[in-house]
Structure 1
């Protein structure tokens, strides 16, 4: 009863009787204030306030400071424990499978293809969000994942027993099938684990390698375009429906602009990050034909397993993009 009253109090400003005051909404952000996606959420909040004439006031809470993280986030927003959240989609794929599409390995090889995959999948994401009592607002990709390692990775043999921090089950299964030893760790423990030798590599982007100053502990980046995983921002449908039509339109305008900006920013950050890590003596290279063939074979197994139980609409998307 107490939580219901709190929710009701938050919703009251959106009603016509309280049109004079701004609607205040909290947006949960898992990553820190300097993170690419948290900065995107902050830009979205500013645009929503601007386009609504100040009647929608969104406060972004970085670093999981509200206490909500990971696989619980779909349920947290569904239940209204927080009105809005930035969510790494692959992490909640256990609750709603289609959210795992963007984190499948080697489906796409560049940003143009990644955007095409997103556009094809977006209706599925919107429907899945609605099923979880949420309005899907926008999504944007992390810069593409590669392998940051101690020593060069030029063949499958170089992956054998490599202790690699991965960010989801797909990545773990992918590397395990290639002879690696994937390790699950919170991001905050990655650098210290590299220092102590608990792990000797990370499946992540050049952007994250730059932000983590991985050149202090690692010396190679294999640019394999493993995946372009998406983060999405959603809002609880009860909160959404309590907004006026004008406020909803302002939010959608802000979401569309943020989405386009974040896609462009992700690509430009990738180019810049690759330059920075090279300047700090991390050797950047691409996979040769033999390694690419092995990586695609491993990816095909992950994708085939993911297909099990998918609805025809999602199967059709994979049919378009799977190699």
Structure 2
């Protein structure tokens, strides 16, 4: 709406307080599930029910059949709440313009130097990317939130050219909470098909993710392909099906945050396994142990299409348990309870994917 440049922070703050914008309040929707309802406020006239994309992956028919044949079908509704990254240093940048060479220099706290350089140069400033020298020194923590192409850096560059001097912008912590991209934010129904002996037969996940009012740097990736690819973790699932709907909401934009879908997939998978064990009276450690992919089964292509080339998941599982000393759990729990704290024990394997650019 307005961009203030001043000699001091105090002067800039006073100028901001003098700006009066007359807004017309509109109905808003912040819950992605409610945003899908026909009666929900529509963010865009040409996008019915605020639905950006309806994505699916896996074998729906095979998964449905496995559920029909299973001894038990366990269902769990989950909310993976929205978060923001809160890096130790907020976003900030310093921009300058050299009139003699018609080039810009941008020092920017960013994780994404090359892609953002092209975005700022070509798509915002309308110049060749070679005219912008984009430098990322010590970033001060990013965690995904500093991947995105935010509006402030090109505004700083524009102001630097307009004023003929360098311009600096440093985000406040309060504005960081409001203006940085968010992560997670999924509402899911996860179902596990399991036999009496604890053997996993199939996994079905249906999730709805709010992505903000418009697609940000990576669009609807996190609640769709980002969360689908590592569904099932390191366990042997004969079949899986994943459906993800990305929904527009009147919230801050969604972009990568520490995993961009893989932690969400682990949360979905491990929560339904733990819940099934407790509901059926099975040992949660034993059913995980029983269903881990053995090393001799690798390489293996998961039902989500991911190539799992190598690894010894049972070995890592046992080593982790050994380090956790479950035999001493009772004594540690008693000590914690006496101190007024809660104490629990669980194990949750995590499957990461790498080499995505190859």
TM-score by length of 1: 0.28
Work out which of the two has the higher radius of gyration on C-alpha atoms and give 1 or 2. 2
Richer in helix (by share): 1
Richer in strand (by share): 2
